[in-house]
Structure 1
């Protein structure tokens, strides 16, 4: 039980910072949806979709590789740190320079409106800075310095949010004379209305640069040393991780890239394809409640799984972790799905954004299966068979591409959401099936699938049997949430189970 407590405490630290940070960031959604039309927000959504791909390219699997090799007996962790960070530093400078140099042609290739080249340059710098910060952050996780890791992440988010509010809300309002008229000369010098949504990227750039300053101690311990021969085994391990990550990004973000291309003209009457991307992107944000739990869990679980790999009872530990992770995510799925009306009113300020909320339960369930997949993927990471992750990710990417192309013309962005759900479910199923043959773990698969079916049934009941009265409807939804949690407690008896462990 001490092992589970250690993972839970680490997840709590990462989780609190992740949850608080993501909530603060999420509070920008009502700002964006109030200040920008859906078409403008579609530019942000589209560009950040490409950034997700490029983040994988910039780090090319070296973060997970660092964990794996650092836990091998006899490894000089400082030397490993120097070599990996040296390689990332050189590649980040080269890649950022290439992206900035080709900003104009790239925007044209991506089909985005002309005149936004500076946005691409800023994003190139963000990608480079974040890639360089990845290994110092990984070192903090390896050394179990969760509080420092969380503190720096929080500082990054607070600065990002603060700058967004300053440039997107405060400066325009001051210049419009809504308040603080005495600050108009200062606001006029600092604020350029022509930048518009570009301030979203500028705030991100400033926060990324500030993060490197906060990682000063970790960077000061770094000594540049680039020698390709010792890096070969690292790159051999890393490149399947990168390919797996690229496939994962296809599954996670390709829908927002394909929507403008495959959505038929006037599919949504009176709305452009970029507007549809903006609506879908804003509604996608409502699935954050699942993704932030998965992110927090991954921060703690990846080094935990590697550290536990040599323990005799590690398979039982991995099974227990998956069980309670899935149950907790099922509660989130039910709670958010049945209270979407309230959340949409709170965060999606313009009515045009709320037209797409039906995709949210589908995306929540999809992200739940993604979290299950990350749990199950421990087998190929511990057995150094990372190429299986590439195969699984590639299979998921094929499914994502095919279903998006087939379903977008018929169902619009709901087709993209369903494609994401099918993809992540199949990835989790294939990973479990292969894992049973290479690294057997006694996962309670049947029991967990039953709970997920019950959760999906309760959500469907809440959506399709909805009283017309506003207050009665919300009381009904809250009652269904309470019933699901009560059933879980009654059947699983978590306190007694944990006590016996």
Structure 2
């Protein structure tokens, strides 16, 4: 029981630190969709998609390698930390220097203004430089420090967004001086990127003391071993970024030019309604990943993993059904501009896709604790191929609905592949009957609420209560047994 208590405590704290940045995205959606036209929101969404891919490339799997090697041989803990920090620092500085030199041709390739690309490069570099300090907090079980700095980052980002979009126009109208010189009505999306740069820069300054605590050092032999472990994780990360972000990018380039950015904008805005599932899955993963490694040698590790996956599925299924039942309330709260509502039909699909991704992360314990990370790469590459192929086929015919279907197909396939490979190499006794029944019930009830009863709150609430009661009667004995320990 102590193990579960510690897990849930850390998951809650990491969850808070993860929920708040994501919650920032939710809070800002009403502001962005009110102030920015769908085309401008599409620019923001597409550039952020490139940044997601860039984050993976600049971290190159070192985060996972760091966790593995400090737990593999505790006597090498200090040199593992310093080697990882030195590697990430040097590679990031070199990247930024080269990319800035070639930012103009790069902007032409991706079809963005040079200033957007410049801000994107700065965000990428600043975020890469804080990867290792944040990983150090997680590895040394200091979730509060992790959370506090993440929360400060959120406050700074939110503060500057509010300043630029709400207060700066008023200051500029009252003055012809400095405030008027930095205000623009035609290019408001740039304020989103500037706010992000300021917040990321402030975060790096807060974490600089940790650079001195960890220290720089480099063990070439150890670095090669870490890179060998990290390489498949990098491939998997690239594939994941394709699954997560390339739908927006492909929409921009596969749809007619006159509607592409607007279609990306409405799709990306409604995609944000799926963030509730992403919040839960990401917070859970941040808490569970160190636990998976630390607990892997325990006698009943597999039974523990099975229990964790079952309860993850229960909570995830509840979130899926809850958001769908009250979708009309969420859309009015988060996307007040009805111009964006045309893409609401993607929300059930995106929520289910992200639930499948969360289950996949739980199932993926087998290849992480057995050092078979190449399987993570294989599975992710298959998912990326599905994403690219279905987007290419479906976008010209179905626009953003094709992207949503491609996302679900990719994540669903990855979930199933991980389970079947895991049975062979590290068999965990998952309760498939219960996991499957909860998942199917949530999917069926969500479909009935959204597609058949057209969001009727009374019927949807009744379905939600039936779902909760079914779980209660099915799980009450096990919950009572856990709580008594």
**SS of aligned partner of 1:422:** helix
Q: Tell me the residue number matched to 1:401.
A: 388
**What's the CA shift string for 1:370-392, capped at 9, x where partnerless?**
00111111111111111111100
**Structure 1 residue 464, shift from structure 2 partner:** 3.0
Aligned with 2:211 (options 204, 214, 219): 219
Q: How far off its partner does 1:250 sit? A: 0.9
SS of the residue corresponding to residue 349 of structure 1 reads coil
Quote how far apart the aligned CAs of 1:218 are.
1.3
Match in the other structure for 2:480: 496
Q: Mark the CA change 1:466 to 1:363 in structure 2 (over 3 Å): closer, same or farther.
A: same
- Residues 1:191 and 2:183 are matched in the alignment: yes
1:10-409 to structure 2, matched below 5 A, reads: 10-112=10-112, 116-176=113-173, 181=174, 185=177, 187-193=179-185, 195-263=187-255, 272-409=259-396
Match of 1:461 in 2: 448
> Where does residue 404 of structure 2 map in the other structure?
417
TM-score, normalising length: structure 1:
0.93
Comparing both structures, which one devotes a greater share of its residues to helix?
2
Aligned-pair distance for 1:500? 6.3
Aligned to 1:268: none
Q: Deviations over 1:163-207 (max 9, x none)?
A: 01101221124435xxxx5x7756325534465211111111111
Match of 1:440 among 427, 435, 443: 427
Q: Is this contact kept in 2: 1:99–1:120, CA < 8 A? A: no
Q: Residue 76 of structure 1: SS of its match in structure 2?
A: helix
Mapped to 1, the partners of 2:93 and 2:482 lie a distance apart of 49
Q: Give how far 1:479 is off.
A: 2.5
Counterparts of 1:19 and 1:194 in 2: how far apart (Å)?
32
Q: Deviations over 1:375-423 (max 9, x none)?
A: 1111111111111111001111111111111211222111110111111
CA RMSD of aligned residues (A): 1.8
Asked if structure 1 preserves the Cα contact closer than 8 Å seen for 2:53 and 2:241, the reply is yes
Corresponding residue SS for 1:75: helix
8 Å Cα contact 1:69-1:75 kept in structure 2: no
**Which range moved further: 31-40 or 76-85?**
76-85
Deviates most, 117-126 or 387-396:
117-126
Distance 1:51 1:137 in 2: 19
Provide Cα deviations, 1:232-256, integer angstroms capped at 9, x if missing partner. Answer: 0011001110000000111111111
Structure 1 residue 487 corresponds to structure 2 residue 470: yes
How many aligned residue pairs are there? Answer: 484
Counterpart Cα distance in 2 of 1:482 and 1:100: 55
| Deviation of the 1:2 alpha carbon | 1.2
1:477 to 420, 435, 460: 460
Structure 1 stretches of at least 4 aligned residues deviating more than 4 Å after TM superposition? 183-186, 192-195
Structure 2 CA distance for aligned equivalents of residues 253 and 39 of structure 1: 17
For 1:372 and 1:235, how far apart are their aligned partners in 2?
Answer: 27
Contact 1:408/1:414 (<8 A) preserved: yes
**Gaps in structure 2 of 5+ consecutive residues:** none
Identify the match of residue 426 of structure 1 among 403, 413, 419. Answer: 413
Q: TM-score, normalised by structure 2?
A: 0.96
CA distance 1:452–1:94, shift in 2 (3 Å): same
1:317-371: per-residue Cα shift (whole Å, max 9, x none)? Answer: 1001101011000000000011111111111122221110110110000000100
- Over 3 Å counting, the alpha-carbon distance change for 1:157 and 1:184 in structure 2 is farther
**2 CA distance for matches of 1:194 and 1:404?**
32
**2:20/2:154 contact within 8 Å kept:** no
Greater CA drift, 444-453 or 241-250? 444-453
